[in-house]
Amino acid sequence: MNTKFIDFEKMKKIHFIGIGGISMSALAEIVLSKGIAVSGSDRQETSITRHLAGEGAYIIYEQRAENITDDIDLAVYTAAISSDNEELLAARNKNIPTMVRADFLGLLMKEYKRAICISGTHGKTTTTSMLAHILMEGDKNPTILVGGILDSIGGNLRVGGEETFITEACEYTNSFLSFFPTTAVILNVCADHLDFFKDINEIRQSFKRFAALVPKDGVVVINGDIPDVEYFTKELQCKVITFGRDKEKNNISAEAIEIDGRACCSYDLIADGENKGRITLNVTGVHNVYNSLAAAAAAMSMGISPEVIGAGLAGYKGTERRFENKGEFNGVTVIDDYAHHPDEIKATIETAKNYPHKDLWVVFQPHTYSRTKALLSEFGEALSMADYVILTDIYAAREKDDLGISAENVLDEIKKWGGKGSYISSFSDIEKFLQKKCKPGDLLITMGAGNVVEIGDFLVK
């Protein structure tokens, strides 16, 4: 079979190795909606795998060669699956075509007339969710694949019609270069994933190649405030729409930004110098003004009216782990946020400063050794903006502890920038410390891409 093309009408059964992941499970559910049988394997049963089983998938909670049966037409696997995985080897030994998840997602989006891919170092989940709300408000019946839990669609997937597909597009391992966008959104291009990319120049090259994937009749929506934005756009043959702070420089911008007592913003939406009306957001932070501008620009390129855009954005109330209010303990408000890059941390703390509070406490769990080492000074500067920071051990994710970096190094950098903090390795000790030190009226943010959310959940409960 030519793995550069899939005739889904001829597919009878697809097997997913690692089916329980948030993205893999969504792909499996889309396949089920096409009437194709799905099997898959994962290490343990979860609410995600139970849902898939209820939809008709056959799931095995052990990865072994016997799971690869002769009736399987294609085996899809994640980049995290090792080359010596029993199922992957068995599929190849049986000459069953295999395909990594990003390639499969790319071919899947070719089944839709319009494929909107939201990229950027940060803001992808929020912007995808915002645009999803606009499209639903405009009765576009989109198929939506988002990297977080969006309550309005009951999870991370909405199976809609075959007209419009919207998804996040991640640059890590250049996976978004396997996609086929008709609309590509680039929110920002910053140094990250330096365990894969050599430097910021290599990252910029990757995003430039991503923009170049858009066909002549497509659209690239890009943040016009990115340094030397022309590097990404000058050779493009498709339509380019820029958004950003300066209305003289960008097609889409915001004026008269106001921040309410919940740290949510409203603003005048400006398109090519014309005021298109007042936008009111129900998510916190000035940074979300610019995420919403990107969503508005993409929607306008589809002919969606400013009124529908405004209603869609007003209806978006946030995504899980994005400045999510978890509740209170002892009069202390607990917020959880996914921020794990210095730019995201700054945006979250700046948002918190407009949120009612006395002292601002941050519990930060660094994510990956490579990111922590590469951006150490930037982490120190960003975290020093809080009144007090507690550092947990680094969340290793996919990495090994072999770079000579630790949370204590982050704490040293915070202190260099004039901040205050402590390193506490045990979650239970952190919880005891916070119960003792936090006062009524304080604001506590658990922050990071790992399992630091468990601390806030425990305190609230």
Active site residues: 124-125, 168
Q: Write down the H helix ranges in 138-285.
A: 200-211, 230-233
Separation of alpha carbons 306 and 249, rounded Å = 21
**CB-CB contact of 413 with 406 (8 Å):** no
Cα–Cα distances (Å) from 377 to 122, 165, 415, in that order, read 19, 39, 11
Record the tokens describing residue 258, joined without a space.
């106001």
Buried b (16+ CB within 10 A) or exposed e, 406-429: bbebbbebbeeeebebebbeebee
Sheet holding 443-447, edge to edge: 324-329, 332-337, 443-447, 360-364, 388-391, 421-423
Longest dimension (CA), the chain: 64
102: closest CA among 32, 160, 177? 177
Q: Is 27 exposed, middle or buried (0-12, 13-18, 19+ CB in 10 A)?
A: buried
Contacts of 382 (CB under 8 A, 6+ apart): 342, 343, 345, 346, 349
d(CA 201, CA 182): 25
Give the SS3 label for residue 105.
helix
Pick the closest to residue 374 from 191, 138, 167 (CA basis). Answer: 191
DSSP labels for 191-232?
S--TTT-SSHHHHHHHHHHHHTTS-TTSEEEEETTSTTTHHH
Write phi, then psi, for 115 (nearest 5 degrees): -120, 115
d(CA 180, CA 15): 23
Q: Which residues contact 331 (CB under 8 A, 6 or more apart)?
A: 439, 440, 441, 442
